[in-house]
């Protein structure tokens, strides 16, 4: 486990000097700060801990088999402690921990079944919170809002699971796309379920924020929600879907803030702005410029400098302009996981950039420092 984070840190952090002062001292948003506006104390008296200059790290569910399956709670704690110890040593101050990736729960939930990779009798989120907070690291609970289980997984879940009930009774609130179930955000029932998901987390745990990533509409096919679209009376499918996504995003934001205004809500969309609108109906311009949708936005700019369609520097500039003048903090998502790998989607002239240039992440971090963005986050 230590090899996982140490290798990533060696590649992505140690090559960058001065990580503790990675961004300009001015910060557009007072929300991302230890000095955030005061709100009622949590029932446990916990004060949310967040930083003006965010240096983030994702802890994704795809790594869970490595340090969760077949392991005890103490084994898991040891692995998490090693990850966070290395991360803290390299100035990481925020982790996004995957608590709800596929309609399941890596926390104690009254709504969702236990996470597919969790075969021990312990609470992963509680352990991550304890180990992170003792090191001064903020924890944001990371959820995938619409993505649910596969057909096979759903069949093996209890009939009492609300999503399975919807499927069994023919409710239109959940749809199957290529063998996996997805919530349809057109319905108030699904929006309320998503609100309940976030409410359960922020009421039960001393998290510092909630974080969602880029799993919005799973398909552009008109058949996905044709019934709801017809009933809506709308004439523009793309605009209608875009409003549906923004409605549930606002619901999640407002649910977080109802609990404690100092808690943060962040969104991590894909880095290609045009594709955000055309394939996922994600209104990133609204979210990044208007209040009431998110405190910070983390575009996944997982492109090299030589990428033929989305070169890093122009893409970074697009996002800086998108959030310019707003109170939404801009955190740049960087693809440390691509180091040493061929990038087949970058175009023939850029396929080997991540192999030929081992200093690429360092260069991107320096570009972020100079851009006016408010931080960066690394996906290993």
- Report pLDDT digits (tens) over 60-100: 999 999 999 999 999 999 999 999 999 998 899 999 999 99
Instruction: Give tens-digit pLDDT for 102-154.
Output: 999 999 999 999 999 999 999 999 999 999 999 999 999 999 999 999 999 99
Phi, psi for 331 (deg, rounded to 5): -115, 130
Instruction: Give tens-digit pLDDT for 16-35.
Output: 333 332 322 233 333 333 33
Q: Is the dihedral of CA 145, 75, 132, 358 positive or negative?
A: negative
Which pLDDT belongs to residue 90? 82
| Domains, in order of start, for the chain | 2-378 (3.20.20.80)
C-alpha 54 chain-centroid distance: 14
Which pLDDT belongs to residue 27? 35
Instruction: Give tens-digit pLDDT for 172-213.
Output: 999 999 999 999 999 999 999 999 999 999 999 999 999 999
The residues, ordered by sequence, that sit 6+ positions from 20 with a Cβ below 8 Å of its Cβ are 91
Looking only at the bridges linking them, the beta strands covering 174-177 and 209-212 are unpaired
Which pair of structure tokens corresponds to residue 85? Answer: 């110890």
Beta strands in the chain (DSSP E): 54-59, 94-100, 138-143, 147-150, 174-177, 180-183, 209-212, 264-267, 296-297, 329-334, 375-378
């Amino acid at each position: 486990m230590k090899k996982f984070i140490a290798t990533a840190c060696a590649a992505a952090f140690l090559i960058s000097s001065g990580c503790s002062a990675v961004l300009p001292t001015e910060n557009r948003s007072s929300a991302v700060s230890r000095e955030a506006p005061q709100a009622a104390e949590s029932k446990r008296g916990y004060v949310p801990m967040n930083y003006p200059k965010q240096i983030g790290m994702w802890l994704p569910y795809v790594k869970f088999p490595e340090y969760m399956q077949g392991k005890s709670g103490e084994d898991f704690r040891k692995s998490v402690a090693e990850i966070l110890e290395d991360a803290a040593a390299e100035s990481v101050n925020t982790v996004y921990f995957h608590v709800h990736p596929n309609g399941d729960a890596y926390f104690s939930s009254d709504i969702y079944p236990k996470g597919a990779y969790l075969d021990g009798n312990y609470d992963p989120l509680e352990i991550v919170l304890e180990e992170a907070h003792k090191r001064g690291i903020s924890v944001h609970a990371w959820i995938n809002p619409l993505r649910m289980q596969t057909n096979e997984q759903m069949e093996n879940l209890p009939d009492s699971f609300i999503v399975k009930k919807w499927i069994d009774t023919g409710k239109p609130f959940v749809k199957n796309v290529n063998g996996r179930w997805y919530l349809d955000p057109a319905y108030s029932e699904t929006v309320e379920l998503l609100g309940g998901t976030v409410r359960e987390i922020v009421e039960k745990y001393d998290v510092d924020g909630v974080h969602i990533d880029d799993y919005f509409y799973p398909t552009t096919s008109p058949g996905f929600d044709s019934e709801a679209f017809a009933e809506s009376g709308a004439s523009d499918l793309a605009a209608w879907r875009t409003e549906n996504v923004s409605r549930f995003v606002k619901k999640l934001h407002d649910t977080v803030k109802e609990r404690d205004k100092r808690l943060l809500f962040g969104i991590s969309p894909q880095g290609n702005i045009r594709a955000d609108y055309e394939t996922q109906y994600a209104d990133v311009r609204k979210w990044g410029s208007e209040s009431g949708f998110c405190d910070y936005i983390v575009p996944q700019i997982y492109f090299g400098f030589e990428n033929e369609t989305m070169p890093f520097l122009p893409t970074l500039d697009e996002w800086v302009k998108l959030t310019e003048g707003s109170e939404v903090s801009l955190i740049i998502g960087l693809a440390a996981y691509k180091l040493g790998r061929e990038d087949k989607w970058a175009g023939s002239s850029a396929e080997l950039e991540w192999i030929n240039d081992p200093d690429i992440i360092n260069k991107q971090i320096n570009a972020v420092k100079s851009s006016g963005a408010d931080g960066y986050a690394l996906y290993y």
